[in-house]
Amino acid sequence: MSIVKFLTSKTFLKQIILAVAALVVLCFLILKYLNVSTNHGDFETVPELKGKSIEVAEVELADNNLVMKIQDSANYNPDYPKYSVIEQEPVAGAKVKENRKIYITLNPSGYRKMNIPDGLIDRTLRQVKPTLEALGFKVGKLTYVDNIGKDIVLKLSHKGKVLKPGDQLPKTSVIDLELGNGNRP
């Protein structure tokens, strides 16, 4: 039997029609299964969690059939209470499937502690001030004492306590400086 004769035979055509019909039925069944198993068209609305405590956020997400996933805490934000939600992904109002993970970022209990760097003593105010501000500190009261070096930093202190290199203070702490006034002692 030749190939052309086989391709035009009734047996071959019946097999092709059966294969196409089986493929159509299989695709239809798979699509129906996917509609049912993925809850096609059923969505949950993500609630607004910013500013709420972790306990309240957990309850609200459970009520909406959503799962909370805590990401690492961010930098301290004084506009929000301690241990409250400051960011969420996806955003509030988004439509998501049930049991979707909602990633939240918490506000830590305070500013991160930073080390006082080495090499600030015997430098000029012009060098020390930007260094401290870059680390997140604030320069407070400037006190001048008799010293031949004008505007040379002689001592750093915080709330009356003299600071040494390596001491730790929370970011945004105010550091007072004792400077030379250019007069001989």
Going edge to edge, which strands form the sheet with 85-89? 67-70, 101-106, 85-89
Residue 107, pLDDT > 90, answer no
Residue 18, pLDDT > 80, answer yes
pLDDT of residue 84: 87
As beta bridge partners, residue 177 has: 142, 156
**How many helices, marked H, and strands, marked E, lie in the chain?**
4, 11
pLDDT digits (tens, 9 = 90+) for 58-83: 899 889 889 999 887 767 788 888 88
pLDDT digits (tens, 9 = 90+) for 141-156: 999 999 988 889 999 9
* 120-124: average pLDDT: 90
Residue 184, pLDDT > 90, answer no
First to last CA, the chain: 119
